[in-house]
Amino acid sequence: MNDELLEYTFDKIEIGLKKDFQIKITESLVNDFAKISGDFSPIHMNENYAKGTIFKKRIVHGMLLSSLLSRIQGMYLPGKHALYFSQSLNFRNPCFIDDIITVSGTVIAKSESTKILKIESIIKNQNNEIIVSGIGRVIVRDD
């Protein structure tokens, strides 16, 4: 998927509509996220420290990964008319620097009265392991 801003209206969105994109998790992304969030925990930032953990190497911030869900809603599903309402998150497996992840959203329900989409959110690594899952709710604006 490219960075083209989609403009789905509520009526054009069907249950089962899915959008996804892939991204490589780089050292630069992790460093930039640490600067933005202020989370410099050694499990994310210090290779020597991380070697002594059960993961044996640095793990990527879970919130960095979950922040990528915003791209699904804000750019693709529904895109221009999106207003994020809520998001549940389950961190199921670790993600490491240089992993190639697939971020996806699938519409699983929609409410005519509130114009809210219920979107299944899944992030998988290159081994097809789910690393983050959850349910997002997105209001589809009329403007």
Domain chopping of the chain, boundaries? 14-140
- What pLDDT shows up at residue 2? 60
- What pLDDT shows up at residue 4? 84
Whole-structure pTM value: 0.93
Q: How many residues are there in the chain?
A: 143
Determine contact, residues 19/79, Cβ cutoff 8 Å. no
Per-residue pLDDT tens digits of the chain, which is 143 residues long:
567 899 999 999 999 999 999 999 999 999 999 999 999 999 999 999 999 999 999 999 999 999 999 999 999 999 999 999 999 999 999 999 999 999 999 999 999 999 999 999 999 999 999 999 999 999 999 88
Q: Which fold has domain 14-140?
A: Thiol Ester Dehydrase; Chain A (3.10.129)
